[in-house]
Amino acid sequence: MAFIITDPCITTKDTACVDVCPVDCIHPRKDEPEFEQSPMLFIHPEECIDCGACVPACPVSAIYDSPDATPASQQDLVDANAKYRAGDAGAFAEVQNIVNAHISAHPELMNIPGTERAAAHQS
Ligand code: SF4
Ligand code: SF4
């Protein structure tokens, strides 16, 4: 059960979680070519060791501790986390489509600042 990054990361994307992850399973990093184009970051589901270090590091509470703990409005992004692979252009395109569809489907979330978005996930 890996940790999941959700939509407060969109527009925030500050990589604070990358700096604390002990196994380098959060991508794209700033030094990876997909970083500029990627709308958010993703956690590799098989590499994550469930240590929890990324959760308090995230300034916008974007990270949930499992797919089951991820709110219904964010379940599409569970798939995005599962599919993203650094260096895989096909997977990146697929993930971008998922995130763009999420943005289109949730104007009520995207229209509020990233810092307040997680609080609105349960409503
Ligand atoms: S829970 Fe730990 S291993 Fe998993 S992404 Fe967060 S910091 Fe990395
Ligand atoms: S710390 Fe939070 S907002 Fe920053 S990149 Fe990681 S998940 Fe995204």
The pLDDT of residue 123 is above 70: no
Q: Which of 53, 101, 62 is nearest to 79 (CA)?
A: 101
d(CA 88, CA 112): 31
- CA torsion, ordered 32, 70, 63, 12, to nearest 10 deg: 70
Nearest CA to ligand 1 atom 5: 48
Q: Report pLDDT digits (tens) over 79-113.
A: 999 999 988 999 999 999 999 999 999 999 999 99
Q: Report pLDDT digits (tens) over 49-83.
A: 999 999 999 999 999 999 999 999 999 999 999 99
d(CA 91, CA 4): 17
pLDDT given at position 122: 84
Residue 62 CA to ligand 2 centre (angstroms): 7
Query: What structural domains and CATH numbers belong to the chain?
Result: 4-120 (3.30.70.20)
Is the pTM for the entire model greater than 0.95?
Answer: yes
Nearest CA to ligand 2 atom 1: 58
Q: Report pLDDT digits (tens) over 5-33.
A: 999 999 999 999 999 999 999 999 999 99
Nearest CA to ligand 1 atom 8: 21
